[in-house]
Amino acid sequence: MNLTKKSNIVFFIFCLLSVSGCVHLGVEPWQRDLLAKKEMALNASPIDAALDDHIYFSKEASSGGKSFGGGGCGCN
Amino acid sequence: MTTKKFTISQCKDSHSISFNAMASPCEVIVQSTDAKLVGALAQVICTEVWRIEGKYNRYDPKSVCSMINTNAGQTVAIDEETYLLLDFAEQCYQLSDGLFDISSGCLRKVWSFDASDNIPNQADVKKQLKSVGWRKINLNRQSITLQKNMEIDFGGIGKEYAVDRTIRLAKQTTQKPVLVNLGGDIAVTGSRHNNTPWQVAIERPDVDIGDEKSADMIVSLYSGALATSGDSRRYLLNGGQRYGHVLNAKTGWPITHAPRSVTVVAPQCIQAGILATMALLQGHQAEQFLSAQDVKFWARR
Amino acid sequence: MKSSTPNKNIKAALTVASAALLGTSNTTQAQTAEEDSWQFDSAFLFYSEADRVSAGEAIINAQKMFDDEEILNLKLTVDTLTGSSANGAVAQPNVQTFTRPSGNGQYITNEADTPLDDTFKDTRVQLNTQWTKPLASNYTLSVGGHLSKEYDYLSLGVNSNLAIDFDRKNSTFSTGFSYFYDTFAPEGGIPKPLVSMLIGDSDTPSWDVNFAQTRLTNDEIKTTTDILFGFTQVIHRRMIMQLNYSYSMVEGYLSDPFKIVSVVNSSGLTQDNIYESRPDSRVKQSLYAQSMYHFESNVLDISYRYMWDDWDIISHTIDSRLRIPLGDIWGKDSFLQPHFRFYQQSAAEFYRPFIQEDNVNGIEYLSADYRIGEMMAYTVGLKFGAVINGKNELSFRLEYYRQTPTDGGYESIGVLSDLELYPTIEAIIGQVTYSF
């Protein structure tokens, strides 16, 4: 089971890399008008994310993924 | 070489200093009736403009620019000012992802923008392109090393730099409002008396036959600078395709679908000039580029 | 984790460059002043479950960006928690008595009610520092420290992250590492796993001795090692994607000393309550994909996380936010942002809602904590924000969170069939954020 999982990841990452290799991805520096906006950042609201992580870390069995899952409190 | 002299004339409460530099007519307006002050200012400003011209004019064999170019292949010692200018050019190269390149001048050997259909062949362009690329240049605070056959020129930044330098000197010389105009690249020390703006007329560069004639555009300038990039008289026509004189330093070919001219307002002239040039380099996305930079601009197509 | 946030504002970069060239800084005051000063973000969050836990959390985050693009980030978090939490035991048709984790006194659960331990009360102070520094033109290093202290818990952590940009900064590969060292010293000590909870009169002279016999030690340690690999790719002008793989190894004391499991007879009646027992290691892995898409004016943020671990827990999380600009109607740059989150997890292999007395012998790991049982949850929320006083952003967020634990295939027996063993938990989350 673990083996299939691992090969899945490798496959997934490989797909992603090959996509970025073949297709014309990305933009020129001057085409970043929209990407440069604060709300387009992958972590646009770090405070919200930190608070949410804390809530869900203490209420559910999963944590992290986006960033470190971490420990940090005795809530779980 | 241009003759190194200036003329002063008075008009109402202001004095105007006229001179020639950098292949352009230049003008300095001082809102003062003090003839002695104007005379002193004229001396200071003209000396500085001519100094910069003499130092960075690539057609002047005695200039620092020529010294660097003729010694391509060897390391040339440079002073602090030259280093700062070159460092600025390097940052522009990086910010434009290589589109703005002060080593791209030799491409003009194969491109003559004379409104003809005289398009060079790809092989010639490719050959010249070998001598282009800031990446190949080695710069540090003390020296610069060009590869053999490479050339640099300060055409894209020298005039704007001179505007900013003279504004600084004007501010040190007098509290009176001063406007510096070096061939269309303009900056002011501040607003005119009673906080009124300078009215700057931007000449419509469009001289194409059949084009709708329109009046000069008037811009109110309280502070900062404006610079214009683009020249509708310099282009080539081939198969209905218009090739503007702005060259893509990476491909060696002119940028197509660029506005004929772009005027940008920015705190400093060199900033306005680079933004205008970078915008032209974006071709049909020029306006989009400038909108993203959140600057005041006018693009003419 | 710091993702690639290159300075793409050419105008701002030129301002700095021309200031260097002209040796002036006065003309560029507006822009440089902003870069040199501290930026503060503060937030207060209120979390309240119906009849259970209430929590308040305050954050103040200070960030300073230096001229050389180094960023220092300091964050202080204070939170306080009060209320009741499920102790793991099942509801019964009769009144149940439980001993408090400290050993000092008892609490009563009425018939048919889910047993809740009402002794939760804690205040936590957390301090984080993060230092981000560009190493070379395409390399960014970030290192950080973490300290969190509550009455019975101390957590120390370090982390580092290296991001490498390539292809005109359109692609970023990042790798991170973090390590936490936690010490847990609950009042009343750590209970022995699978030992019966002592019930009786805590005022009798023999109580303390008997209670101490159910205790293993005073404190326990837990370490968490996380490794994270991330890949960020700009797809086109409107879209950016991120893919992360994370590997997390937790070792040490992973049980919850406050949680018990009901031991029932064939009629479903509780005979005993024993302390839970979890393995002393857990390896969690996850794949996380996120995409930001800029429509004409709206921005969609959608993410999916697949997590699995060696306790047999598998979870799926979908999180989505749509930012809708409202123009300057209700304040400058105001926006509304609906939020929807869906979560689903399977149970840990040793999860049992209760255990029959015949099956206790020989069991090694056991927990009735619904948080590692089968569960589904969703969150719906709405955020409103606007810029006030020209540059300070104020935002409000209100969310509704609902957890629905399910039986995970474990059938109820006897009297338990008529009782609510998997109560739904509802919570309201309110938050105010102010940046200045």
CATH of the domain at B141: 1.10.3980.10
CB contact under 8 A, C15 and B271: yes
CB contact under 8 A, B292 and A29: no
Mutate to test the interface with C, among A10, A23, A52, A76 (most CBs of C within 10 A): A52
Residue C122 Cα, gap to closest chain B Cα (Å): 49
Q: Decide which of B121, B145, B169 is a domain's last residue.
A: B145
Phi/psi of residue C264, nearest 5 degrees:
-115, 160
- Structurally, chain B folds into a number of domains equal to 2
Asked if the C-beta of C118 comes within 8 angstroms of chain A's C-beta atoms, the answer is no
Task: Verify that B169 and B266 share a domain, yes or no.
Answer: yes
Asked if the C-beta of A10 comes within 8 angstroms of chain C's C-beta atoms, the answer is no
pLDDT band at A70 (very low <50, low <70, confident <90, very high): low
Element (H, E) at B167: helix B158-173
Task: Verify that C158 and C210 share a domain, yes or no.
Answer: yes
Assigned token pair, A32:
């970043």
B254 is a domain residue: yes
CB contact under 8 A, B289 and A36: no
Nearest to C320 by CA among C291, C353, C362, C278: C291
pLDDT tens column, B112-145: 766 667 777 788 888 888 888 898 898 888 889 9
Task: Verify that C188 and C271 share a domain, yes or no.
Answer: yes
Mean pLDDT value across residues B197-215: 58
CB contact under 8 A, A65 and C317: yes
Residues 250-269 of chain B whose Cβ lies under 8 A from any Cβ of chain C:
266-268
Residues B281 and B273 sit within 8 Å (Cβ to Cβ): no
Task: Verify that B17 and B164 share a domain, yes or no.
Answer: yes
ipTM value: 0.88
Asked if the C-beta of C368 comes within 8 angstroms of chain A's C-beta atoms, the answer is no
pLDDT tens column, B272-281: 999 999 998 8
B74-81 long-range Cβ contacts below 8 angstroms, 24+ apart? B74/B145, B75/B138, B75/B143, B75/B144, B75/B145, B76/B143, B76/B144, B76/B145, B76/B146, B77/B142, B77/B143, B78/B142, B78/B143, B78/B144, B80/B141, B81/B55
Which chains does chain A touch, 3 or more C-beta pairs < 8 A?
B, C
Q: Looking only at Cα atoms, what is the longest distance across chain A?
A: 47
**Residue A20 clears pLDDT 50, i.e. is over it:** no
CATH of the domain at C272: 2.40.160
Task: Verify that B238 and B116 share a domain, yes or no.
Answer: no
Q: Decide which of B87, B119, B145 is a domain's last residue.
A: B145
Residue B210 burial by Cβ neighbours in a 10 Å radius (0-12, 13-18, 19+) = exposed
Distance CA C165, CA C168 (A): 8
Distance CA B262, CA B257 (A): 13
Domain that residue C11 falls in: 1-36
Domain that residue B236 falls in: 6-57+156-300
Output the DSSP codes for C96-123.
EEEE-TTSS-EEEE-TTSPPEEEEEEEE
Residues of chain C with pLDDT under 70: 1-8, 24-36, 67
pLDDT tens column, C106-153: 999 999 999 999 877 889 999 999 999 988 778 999 999 999 999 899
- Structurally, chain C folds into a number of domains equal to 2
Residue B49 Cα, gap to closest chain C Cα (Å): 15
